[in-house]
Chain A
Amino acid sequence: MPHARILIRPKAGILDPQGTAVEQALPQLGFAPASNVRIGRLVELDVDDASELEAICERLLANPLIEDYEIQVDA
């Protein structure tokens, strides 16, 4: 059964409050400043039919209005 990873990211230009919170936390821990911190989701799944993954993303895993997704299937 093929193993797939779906990377789901907030679309460019959409304010990501979680990313902002992490960005602000880093200097507090003594790390050098980081910028453009964005927090998304990783979904891992084993599927019978990898050709369905795009439809699965469109219908359920991602909200296309606000999120981009990237499908990675292990060879």
Chain B
Amino acid sequence: MKVGVLQFPGTCDEVDALLAAERAVGAGNAELLWHRDRDLKGVDAIVVPGGFSYGDYLRAGAIAALSPAMESVAAFARDGGPVLGICNGFQVLCEAGLLPGTMLMNPSRRFNFRQVELEVVVADTAWTRAARPGQRLSIPAKHQTGRWYAPDALLQEVRANDQVVFTYAQDDRPNGSTANVAGVTNAGRNVVGLMPHPEHATDPLTGSADGLVLFRSPLEAAGVA
């Protein structure tokens, strides 16, 4: 299995995402995909990493969502291909209409950077198949615009379809998101986005390897693992 990691001007977490993917699928099986390139190079899964794509001008992720590479990612996602958006990548996928809701500035106005406890809510998505519902993951979060928001009608739809994938564990609410949501999936359950950074939690040496479970999940979905 090959994993592609998108790279926009202003992306900054693509190398960690690449290394995290390689830990799951093997060295040499992950590669960067440039934002101007429509060619996804035949990869089997795509990660849209964190950072500040196109300077986050207008709104976080708004300009990146219109890039040539994202046109191809949208088509890939519509065909059922697994796509994971992390932090800015989550914002990009929301702006591209591939995931429900959007992100607002944290009520504190602060850029929060700390380890958070996530709870896996559903394990039937392309990116949580290797996890189990209720599992706790210790993963760093670092963002200022991470307050996931959905209007009431959309929130009801998201809940009714079990599209909340991750919540912040109780008493650990870094950004005041609606319903404590940390990550969501699309109706097809192949696209997942979350604000915390699983790619920064792949080695016990740096505090936690809990993030690896996401990168292993597409392998299980493909019946490889």
**Does A15 contact B104, Cβ atoms closer than 8 Å?**
yes
Q: B residues within 8 A CB of A65?
A: 101-102, 149-151, 154
Chain B interfacial residues counted at CB < 8 A: 18
**Does B109 contact A63, Cβ atoms closer than 8 Å?**
no
How long is the Cα–Cα vector from A66 to B62 in the complex, in angstroms? 13
Please tell me which one of the listed residues B66, B102, B106, B107 contacts residue A66 in the complex, with CB atoms under 8 A apart. B102
Of chain B, the residue at the smallest CB distance from A41 is: B58
Is A37 among interface residues, defined by CB-CB distance under 8 A?
Answer: no
How long is the Cα–Cα vector from A18 to B104 in the complex, in angstroms? 11
Q: B residues within 8 A CB of A15?
A: 104, 107, 176
Looking at chain A's contact residues, is the secondary structure mostly helix, strand, loop, or mixed? helix
**Does B104 contact A60, Cβ atoms closer than 8 Å?**
no
Please tell me which one of the listed residues A17, A18, A63 contacts residue B59 in the complex, with CB atoms under 8 A apart. A63
**Does B105 contact A18, Cβ atoms closer than 8 Å?**
yes
Is B95 among interface residues, defined by CB-CB distance under 8 A?
Answer: yes
Chain A interfacial residues counted at CB < 8 A: 11
Please tell me which one of the listed residues A17, A20, A21, A66 contacts residue B149 in the complex, with CB atoms under 8 A apart. A66
How long is the Cα–Cα vector from A65 to B151 in the complex, in angstroms? 7
Is A50 among interface residues, defined by CB-CB distance under 8 A?
Answer: no
Spell out A's residues near B (CB within 8 Å). Answer: 14-15, 17-18, 20-21, 60-61, 63, 65-66
Spell out B's residues near A (CB within 8 Å). Answer: 58-59, 62, 66, 95, 101-102, 104-109, 149-151, 154, 176
Q: List 20 A-B contacts (CB under 8 A).
A: A15-B104, A15-B107, A15-B176, A17-B106, A17-B107, A17-B109, A18-B105, A20-B107, A21-B109, A60-B62, A60-B66, A61-B58, A63-B62, A63-B95, A63-B102, A65-B101, A65-B150, A65-B154, A66-B104, A66-B149
Q: What are the 7 tightest A-B residue pairs by CB atom distance, in nearest-first order?
A: A17-B109, A17-B105, A65-B102, A17-B107, A63-B102, A66-B102, A15-B107
